[in-house]
Amino acid sequence: MTVIPTPTPAGYADVLVGLQYGDEGKARIIDVIASDYEVIARFNGGANAGHTVEHADKKISLHQVPSGVFHPGKWLYIGSGCVLDPIKLVEELHEIRKIGGSVDDRLRISGLASLVQPHHVVIDQHTGSALGTTGQGIGPAYADRANRVVEGRIAHLRVGDLLHDPQQVFAATRENLARAVERNAIENIDQATLMSAFEIAAQAIIPLIEPDTLWLTKLATAGSRILFEGAQSFMLDVVKGSVPFVTSSSTLASAAYVGGDLSPKFHRKTIGVAKAIMSRVGRGPFVSEFGGAQSEEYSMSDHAKKQSEEAKLDVAKLLQSSSAYDIGTALRINGKEYGATTGRPRRIGAFDLVQLAYATAVNGVDEIYINKCDTLLDFASTSLPGIPIIVDYKLRGESIDYVPASSDLYRLVDPIFSSVPPFHSDISGIREPGDLPPEVLRFVQEVEKRSCRIVGIGVGPARDQFVLF
């Protein structure tokens, strides 16, 4: 007699992406909703992604490991759309262990992910400053993924190649490094030391490599619920973003199923994350920026300004200034807006409803969380009439409802501002929507009109400082 197994309900996948220029607090939202999933998966980027995760009294900055570190029993998956730096990953795993965490038995790395080789980092640090890259080798690694072979050498090496013949991988990596140093006339590089560190780290991650290219599909088919975690954010997408001032991978929600190794038939919903006061790192158009070109140049000139800003500047005086640049500086200090990976100051901007509507439409966003709404309190101390929001774009005198296809055109956009009345009380202790000041609810309503349903707002940095609608 044939026994027919009882069918198991199929699982599903949700995708979470940042809707602005990064640093919206995606990891913080994942920490809140992680209990709804069995797997948290990365589908793009590499060690250039910096996100701080807090849980109880533990805090850590992650770069390659997905954000479910403090949720025991959750699978963590690094998909084929990522580029993996073994050295940085081993360092990150060590930091996790130092604070009492462990992911060794639940972290899997797609064998199809690309290796960030030593020459990628060397090239990026030698040439990447014009774009404001993090110097982690991400762009060169993705470039070699496309090039495949350079000057007759295998340029693109995958994580899974380590399962077949590590020594063959190391030989190719060694040759790639030597040729890159020679071709770019890079001096003072200790190639032997770089290669030794790479080989030790690569050997260490071999037990974490997943050879089964259907691993995630099998879990979803068996009923697992999967959350895809986007790195960077929509406006930094390699195609849709303000080229060339973008990252090297696709940050769109739709990219989750290619880079995350799962069929889109499992898709359930897309979750967007925004920040009440926007920020951007590096160069590129930023329509709502406080201080415009002056702010952009300042943020690029020195990556060690955090301590000097906090120690020397009078925030209260800056907030009362008539200068948008000064107001932006004060908002950065109060909001602690400095890069998790580089420490460099972030450029600060007002909330842009046109940009958010564009991001919502392109990504098919179903619901949005807005972080750091508590920081909007600062506007009550400024000379501004309220909380500024961009409600329209004008390009050469004509109203547009989209982000232009050219970065140069985007810089020509004139933002049309409106404002929401400011609120005057601390909201960090509020947990119920009915207790929020009407001005905060008005802000949420204005955002919702132009995008989609707002399901929650952050009112402070702690895990429980949330108001859910």
CATH code: domain of residue 387: 3.90.170.10
Q: Based on the domain organization, do 421 and 338 belong to the same domain?
A: yes
At residue 341, does pLDDT exceed 80? no
The verdict on 335 and 463 lying in the same domain is yes
Q: Is residue 88 part of a domain?
A: no
Of 155, 190, 206, which marks where a domain is finished? Answer: 206
Whether 192 and 312 map to the same domain: the answer is no
pLDDT in tens, 31-79: 899 999 999 999 999 998 777 777 667 778 889 999 889 899 999 999 9
My answer on whether 433 and 350 are in the same domain is yes
Q: Which domain holds residue 397?
A: 278-468
What's the CATH code of the domain at 177?
A: 1.10.300.10
pLDDT > 70 in the chain, percent: 94
Instruction: Tell me: do 189 and 311 sit in the same domain.
Output: no
Q: Are residues 439 and 296 in the same domain?
A: yes
Q: Is 283 known as a binding-site position?
A: no
132 belongs to an annotated ligand binding site = no
The residue-averaged pLDDT of 125-154 equals 83
91 assigned to a ligand binding site: no
Q: Is the pLDDT of residue 247 over 60?
A: yes
Number of domains in the chain: 2
Q: Which of 176, 206, 236 is the last residue of a domain?
A: 206
The rounded distance, in Å, linking the Cα atoms of 335 and 397 is: 34
Q: What is the distance between the alpha carbons of residues 247 and 228, in angstroms, rounded to a whole number?
A: 18
Average pLDDT, the chain: 92
Task: Say yes or no: 365 and 454 in one domain.
Answer: yes
pLDDT at 134 over 90: no
Q: Let me know if residue 367 belongs to a domain.
A: yes
pTM confidence score: 0.93
Residues 192 and 289 in one domain: no
Ramachandran quadrant class, 457 (left: phi over 0; alpha: psi -120 to 50; beta: rest): beta
What confidence tens digit (pLDDT) does each residue in 187-225 have? 888 999 999 999 999 999 999 999 999 999 999 999 999
Residues 348 and 449 in one domain: yes
Residues 462 and 322 in one domain: yes
pLDDT of residue 5: 46
Residue 21 lies in a domain: no
454 inside domain: yes
Q: Quick one: tokens of 23?
A: 């640093």
Q: Do 129 and 97 form a contact (C-beta atoms < 8 A)?
A: no
Q: What is the pLDDT of residue 7?
A: 46
341 appears as a binding residue in the annotation: yes
174 lies in a domain?
yes
458 is in an annotated binding site: yes
CB atoms within 10 A of CB 146: 9
Report the catalytic residues. 23, 51
Domain assignment present for residue 128? The answer is: yes
CA 86 from chain centre, in angstroms, equals: 20
Write the pLDDT tens digit of every residue in 276-293. Answer: 999 998 899 999 999 999
- Three-state SS string across the chain, please? CCCCCCCCCCCEEEEEEECCCCCCCHHHHHHHHHHHCCEEEECCECCCCCEEEEECCEEEEECCCCCCCCCCCCEEEECCCEEECHHHHHHHHHHHHHCCCCCCCCEEEECCCEECCHHHHHHHHHHHHHCCCCCCCHHHHHHHHHHCEECCEECCCECCHHHHCHHHHHHHHHHHHHHHHHHCCCCCCCHHHHHHHHHHHHHHHHHHEECCCCHHHHHHHCCCEEEEECCCCHHHCCCCCCCCCCCCCCCCHHHHHHHCCCCHHHEEEEEEEEECCEEECCCCCCCCECCHHHHHHHHHHCCCCHHHHHHHCCHHHHHCCCCHHHHHHHHHHHHCCECCCCCCECEEECEEHHHHHHHHHHHCCCEEEEECHHHHHHHHHCCCCCEEEEEEEEECCEEECCCCCCHHHHHHCEEEEEEECCCCCCCCCCCCHHHCCHHHHHHHHHHHHHCCEEEEEECCCCCCCEEEC
pLDDT at 8 over 90: no
pLDDT tens digits, residue range 359-395? 999 999 999 999 999 999 999 999 999 999 999 999 9
Based on the domain organization, do 197 and 317 belong to the same domain? Answer: no
Q: Is residue 344 part of a domain?
A: yes
Answer yes or no: is 270 a known binding residue.
no
Residue 23 marked ligand-binding: yes
The reply to whether 219 falls in a domain is no
Q: Is 124 annotated as a binding residue?
A: no
- Same-domain check for residues 399 and 306: yes
- To the question of whether residue 213 is assigned a binding role by annotation, the answer is no
Residue 20, annotated as binding a ligand? no
Residue that is last in its domain, among 175, 206, 237: 206
